[in-house]
Amino acid sequence: MPRYFLEVAYKGTNYSGFQVQENANSIQAEVENALHLFFRNPIELTGSSRTDTGVHALQNFFHFDYDKSIERKFLYNINSILPGDIVVKNVYEVNETDNCRFAAISREYHYTIYHSKNPFLQEFGWFYPYQMNIELLHQAAKVLLEYQNFQSFSKRNTQVTNFNCQLLESYWTIENDRIVYHVKGNRFLRGMVRGLVGTMVRVGRRLISIEQFHQIIQSQDCTQADFTTPAQGLFLVQVNYPAGLLLKKL
């Protein structure tokens, strides 16, 4: 049976995360409902990267199997059914064994912090009107590239067999009144990016030293990290697949 990857983007403000949940609306539930209405058959989706309540995505993926041909013009109809804060951007035909979660080789996230009150960033960043030392933030971001075990930045009750992640990029940029954390890795743990940002902010405010930051990572104790970072500043920016996997765009 043909398999398809569905590329989506969404504003996560009004949703209780990416994956289907009982008694809560999700991105997956809305997309499955739209596909069901259009194809007149229930469609079961498998998601690539779970995002939490209030987190946004410029790119994420589902895959599904469907025994009839799908044309690109169907996207217009499906997007007409979806709410305005979710869009299906592209559909790709792939091999029947390709899995959008396990085939991904890396994922990229951005986290935005802004210092001056701005109503246009209220749902897309963390308003943090405190001075931070940017050089210390840069140092903390570099420190993360030295490690692979990120248990200290994984929320409890996470169903994983290990806490090892390979970070490929970790750095901050300054964009006008905003500072943005960029991180790319082969995998991420539950709550990891927000835990990294919250703890690095403590470094930037000189509440903890770089040496203490090392100690938090090495402790492998999530109670030492700061997970209070709000969700709305976090964006899943890109999910990367091996070259050629997404070659057949409809």
Query: Which residues sit opposite 241 in a β-bridge?
Result: none
Range list for CATH 3.30.70.660 in the chain:
106-237
Let me know how many helices (H) and strands (E) the chain has, helices first.
5, 9
The alpha carbon of residue 92 and the mean position of all alpha carbons in its chain are separated, in whole angstroms, by 21
pLDDT for position 111:
98
Q: Cα(213)–Cα(224) distance, rounded to whole angstroms?
A: 10
Residue 239 has pLDDT above 90, yes or no: yes
The DSSP 8-state label assigned to residue 219 in this structure reads H
CB atoms closer than 10 angstroms to residue 34: 20
Q: Which fold does the domain 3-103 belong to in CATH? A: Alpha-Beta Plaits (3.30.70)
Instruction: Answer whether 0.75 is exceeded by the pTM.
Output: yes
> Tell me: the pLDDT tens digits for 38-83?
999 899 999 999 899 999 999 999 999 998 888 888 999 999 999 9
pLDDT of residue 42: 92
pLDDT in tens, 191-208: 999 999 999 999 999 999
Summary mean pLDDT of the chain = 94
pLDDT at 175: 86
CATH fold of 106-237 reads Alpha-Beta Plaits (3.30.70)
pLDDT band at 20 (very low <50, low <70, confident <90, very high): confident
How many C-beta neighbours within 10 Å does residue 45 have? 19
Q: Which two tokens stand for residue 171?
A: 């750095």
| Torsion angle (degrees, nearest 10) of CA 170, 158, 87, 84 | -110
How far is it, in rounded angstroms, from Cα 6 to Cα 88? Answer: 7
pLDDT reported for residue 161: 85
Reported as a single tens digit per residue, the pLDDT across 132-164 is 999 999 999 999 999 999 999 998 777 788 999
Q: How far apart are CA 164 and CA 98, in angstroms?
A: 24
Q: What's the confidence (pLDDT) of residue 157? A: 72
> Residue 141 has what pLDDT?
98
Residues of the chain with CATH 3.30.70.580: 3-103
Per-residue model confidence (pLDDT) at position 69: 83
Catalytic residues: 52
The rounded distance, in Å, linking the Cα atoms of 79 and 113 is: 31
Q: What is the spatial distance between Cα 86 and Cα 227, in angstroms, rounded to a whole number?
A: 27
Q: Residue 117: pLDDT above 80?
A: yes
